[in-house]
Chain A
Amino acid sequence: MTATALRTAPSGPGLRARARGGRLGIVALVLLLGLVAMLVLGSRPGDYVPLSTENSTPSGTRAIAQILRGHGVDVRQVDTLARAAVREPASTTVVIANAALLTGGQVRSLVDYPGDLVLLGESGAALAPLGIDATEEAVVVPRTVAAACDDPDAVAAGTARVDVLGLAADGPGATLCFPQRGGTAAFGRAERDGRTVTAIASASLLTNAQLDAAGHAALAARSLGRHPELVWYVADGFDPSLLTWAGSGSGEVPGEIDATPDFFPPGTGSAFYALALTALIAAVWRARRFGALVSEPLPVVVRASEATRGRARLYRRARATGRAAASLRAAAALRMGRRLGVSRTDGRDALVRAVARAAGRSEADVDRLLYGDAPPHDAALLTLISELDALESEVHRP
C-alpha cells in the first residue's frame, strides 16, 4: 500500500463558474417560459364550428357577434342549453343554430320559454311548435331577392340571398320574406304570446363570408340586436340539457351543473394527484446518478472470416459454380496428394495415377472428378462434390 496523501473533493465551483451557471440558468428559464407560453397559446383549440361566434373562418359568425358587441349587446355563446341561464327573458334574445338537432324535450323547453327566439339554419321539427307554419326546402339555385313583405326588419334590409335552405309556407302562422320565384323564402317570423320567433333558414347570410353582401348586415343586426342580451347556442346533438331561464323549473336560475358521475369515493382524484406529484419526486430521486458513467475505449470487433464470407456471397450471387468447384477440387487434390506423398510439382498425371491406385478406381474416373468440366448448375455442383468427398474418403481409408 502506498502512502499517498488523502484526496478530498474541491470545495465547490469558483465564483466565475457559478456566475456562468447562473447565466445559463436564466437562459434556460427564459427558454422554458417561452416554450410554455408557445405551448399554451398554440394549444388553444381553434373554433371551426359553423355559425359559432368564436369562429373567424368564412363559415363562422364572429363578425356579426363583434358588430353587436360594438353596439352594446352582451353576446354570450353557451355550449349547453342548460348553461344559457337566461336572467330576464324579456330583454334577451336566444339564438339557436341547427335546431333540427334538438330533442323533443329541448324543443318543448323552447316553446315554454317566454322570450324572443331566433332559429338559424336547419330547424326541422322545431319550426311548427314554435309557430312558424312552414317546411324547409333545399335551394337549388341561390339568388338575391327583394324583401317582398312588410316585416320592418326585412324592409330595412331590402335584399337578401336565398341559399342552401328556404322556407315554404304551409299555413298562415308566419310572415315569410325574401321569397324566390318558386316560393321558398330566406326569412320567416311569427309573433305569438307576446314574443317573436324568427327563423333565418338561409343562415349563410349571417356568416363572416356573406355578412357584407346585399342587406345581410342590416337584417342580422336588426333581428339579433333587439335586446341588450344575446345568448347564442349551436346545437350539436350531443347535449341533452334543457333551456334554463329565471322561472324555469324551481324558479331560480340554475348554476353550474356538475356532469361528472361519482364512481369513486370522494378524495380519489386528489389522492391520485398527490401520487402523481410523488412520482415527480421519485423521478428526481432516480434521475440523480451516483457519479457519472465511466467510459472505456473498446477494441473493434471484426470476425476473421468476414472476407471469406464476403467472397462466398459473391460466388453465390454470381452462381459461380465453376469457381467454387475449382477451389474445392484443388483443395481435395492438395489433401490427397499430401496423403499419398505426391508433391504439387509432380503434375496432374502423377496425382491421378496415385489416387486411382489408392482408391481402386479407373484413372479416367479420377481425372474426371479432379480435373473434369466445370459443373453448369447447383445440382451438378452438389453431385460433383459428393462424388469428390466419396473419392477422398476412399483415399483416406486406413
Chain B
Amino acid sequence: MHITGWTVALAALGVIPAALTQSRAVAWAWILGVVALALIDAWLAAPPSWVGVRRDAPGSVRLTQSTHATLLVANVGRRRVRGAVRDAWQPSAGASGERHAFALRPGESETFRTALHPTRRGDRHAGPVTVRTVGPLRLAGRQRSFDVPARLRVLPEFASRRHLPSRLVRLREIDGRTAVRLKGAGSEFDSLREYVVGDDVRAIDWRGTARRGEVVVRTYRPERDRRVVIALDSARLSAARVGDAPRLDASIEAALLLAALAAHAGDRVQATAFDRAEQARAASTGSRIVAPLAEALATVEPSLLEPDWPALVRLVESRVSQRSLVVLLTTVDTSAMDSGLIEAVAALQRKHQVLVGSVEDPELGLMVTGRADADALYDAGAASRAMLEREAVATRLRQLGAEVVTALPDDLAPAVCDRYLALKAAGRL
C-alpha cells in the first residue's frame, strides 16, 4: 500500500472546515475521512500481480560509455491498470530515469528504457522491480517488489587503446627494416625474392640463385608465433589506490594494450589474473584477444591476500612449454623481498624472458620533491627511502635478467609495449 500526493493535498483542504468551525473534532473527522477514502482506493486498485514485467539488459558495455536497459511492462489482468514501475539498479550502474508511469488496458504492453552510465568496472546487478498501482481516485494504491534478475557487465575502459596506432607503426617499422636486414636475432626466414639493386649482397641466397638461374635474396621478417604470457597480480598490493583507481586497473590497461599489440604482431597471447588462485584467464584465438580478455578481466577484483608466487610459476609452466615472454604486472616494492617475487622471477627467467611491470605512485614523486618546510623534508626523506628500496628490488630483478618497467598509471601500458617492441626487435622473445 502507498499513498499519493493527492491524499496529502486532500488532507490539507481540511484546514478550511477546521478554520470555519473552529473545531479540532472537525479536523480529525476530515483526516479520518481522507484516510478511509485512501484505504478504499487502495482496496479498489488493481493488484500488482496483474502487471507482468520483462527485463532486458545489454550484455556488456565499456566503462565510460552509456547504454540502456529495457523494461517491458504488460497488463495481464482483467481491468485497466494505472501505476508506475521502478527499474532499480545498483548505484554504480549509474541508472537515471528509473521510474516509469504507465496506464495499460488488459493485454496491452509498453517498453521503457532506463539509461545506464556505469561508473565502475565489474558486474552490475539489477535490483528488484517495484510495481505500484493506483486506485480509481488516485489517492492510494498497492505496491510490491519482486526480483527480476539482470546483469550488466562493465568492461575495462581500455583508455590506452589510443596508444595502439603509434605502436603498430613501430611494429611495421621493425617489420620493414628486417626485410632488408640481415638474418639475425629477432627475425626469421620469410621467403626468397628476386634481387633488386640496393639489396644487401650478403642477403643473396646462392643455393637458390643456382637453382633458379637468377639472383635471389632471402627476406626476413620479425619472429612470429612467439608466446606471450601476461600475469596480473590481483592480490593485496593491487588494491591500493594510485590516483583515482586501484593499481589493478592500470595493470588491466597495460594487459589489454599489450595483448592487442602482440596479437597484431602475430604472437600468441595468454593472460591470467591471480592472487592465491587464478581469478580469470583468457587466450588468443587467431588474432582475437582483446574482447575475450576484457570480458575475463572485467570482474576481477583485488583481494586482500598475499600473492602465491610459486603457484604462479607452476601455472605458467603448465600452460607453456616453449620459451615465452612472461609479463608480470605487479608492484615492485620492498615487500617483494619476502613475498617470493624474486624467487619466482628467477625460476621463470631460467626458461623464459620475464618482464615486470610496476605502477608508480605519482604522489610519491610529489613527496620526493617537497621542500616547503621541515615536515615536507621528512616526507621527502620517507619517499626517497621507499624509492631506494624499490630501486634495490628492481636492480635485483635486473640482475636476474628480467626486464623491469616502472611507470605512472597512465604511462604503464605504453611503457610495457615499448619494452615489448624493443625485446622483439632485439630478438629476445
Known: A7-B146, A299-B302. A274 touches B377 (CB 8 A): no
B406: min CB distance to chain A, Å: 13
Binary B-proximity of A59-82 (CB < 8 A = 1, otherwise 0)? 000000000000000000000000
Asked whether, in the complex, the Cβ of A1 is within 8 Å of the Cβ of B382, the reply is: no
Interface assignment of B3: CB less than 8 Å from any CB of chain A: yes
Asked whether, in the complex, the Cβ of A270 is within 8 Å of the Cβ of B381, the reply is: no
Interface assignment of A315: CB less than 8 Å from any CB of chain B: yes
User: Which residues on B sit within 8 Å (CB–CB) of A304?
Assistant: 240-242, 247, 361, 363
Interface assignment of A268: CB less than 8 Å from any CB of chain B: yes
Q: In this complex, which of B72, B76, B301, B380 has the most chain A Cβ atoms within 10 angstroms of its Cβ?
A: B380
Known: A285-B7, A291-B145. A270 touches B23 (CB 8 A): yes
Classify chain A's interface size.
Answer: 35 or more
B228: min CB distance to chain A, Å: 27
Interface assignment of A323: CB less than 8 Å from any CB of chain B: yes
Interface assignment of B387: CB less than 8 Å from any CB of chain A: yes
B21: min CB distance to chain A, Å: 7
Q: How many contacts between A and B, using CB within 8 angstroms?
A: 224
Asked whether, in the complex, the Cβ of A285 is within 8 Å of the Cβ of B8, the reply is: yes
A275-333 with Cβ < 8 A to chain B = 275, 277-278, 280-282, 284-285, 288, 290-292, 294-296, 298-309, 311-313, 315-316, 320, 323-328, 330-331
Asked whether, in the complex, the Cβ of B364 is within 8 Å of the Cβ of A274, the reply is: no
Known: A304-B363, A308-B386. A284 touches B130 (CB 8 A): no
B280: min CB distance to chain A, Å: 16
Asked whether, in the complex, the Cβ of A311 is within 8 Å of the Cβ of B382, the reply is: yes
**CA of A268 to CA of B21 in the docked complex: distance in angstroms?**
10
Interface assignment of A47: CB less than 8 Å from any CB of chain B: no
Asked whether, in the complex, the Cβ of A9 is within 8 Å of the Cβ of B51, the reply is: yes
**CA of A307 to CA of B241 in the docked complex: distance in angstroms?**
12
Asked whether, in the complex, the Cβ of B382 is within 8 Å of the Cβ of A309, the reply is: yes
A316-354 with Cβ < 8 A to chain B = 316, 320, 323-328, 330-331, 334, 344
Asked whether, in the complex, the Cβ of B11 is within 8 Å of the Cβ of A278, the reply is: yes
Interface assignment of A112: CB less than 8 Å from any CB of chain B: no
User: Which residues on B sit within 8 Å (CB–CB) of A285?
Assistant: 3-5, 7-8
Interface assignment of A48: CB less than 8 Å from any CB of chain B: no
Which residue of chain A is the closest to B90 with respect to CB atoms?
A296
Which residue of chain B is the closest to A333 with respect to CB atoms?
B388
User: Which residues on A sit within 8 Å (CB–CB) of B90?
Assistant: 294-296
Interface assignment of A213: CB less than 8 Å from any CB of chain B: no
The answer, among B92, B130, B375, for a CB contact under 8 Å with A290, is B130
Known: A299-B246, A312-B367, A327-B384. A10 touches B49 (CB 8 A): yes
A17: min CB distance to chain B, Å: 13
Asked whether, in the complex, the Cβ of A270 is within 8 Å of the Cβ of B363, the reply is: no
- 7 pairs across A/B with beta carbons < 8 Å? A278-B12, A296-B90, A300-B239, A303-B240, A309-B382, A311-B385, A323-B381
Taking beta carbons and an 8 Å cutoff, which residues of A are in contact with B? 1-2, 4-12, 266-271, 273-275, 277-278, 280-282, 284-285, 288, 290-292, 294-296, 298-309, 311-313, 315-316, 320, 323-328, 330-331, 334, 344, 378, 381-382, 385-386, 389
The 9 closest A-B pairs by CB, nearest first: A324-B381, A291-B130, A294-B127, A6-B52, A312-B382, A331-B384, A304-B240, A274-B27, A274-B18
Task: Please name 13 further chain A to chain B contacts, defined as beta carbons within 8 Å, in addition to the given A290-B132, A294-B91, A331-B387, sorted by A numbering.
Answer: A9-B51, A9-B145, A267-B22, A269-B24, A271-B18, A278-B31, A281-B8, A282-B11, A285-B3, A285-B5, A291-B128, A291-B143, A328-B377
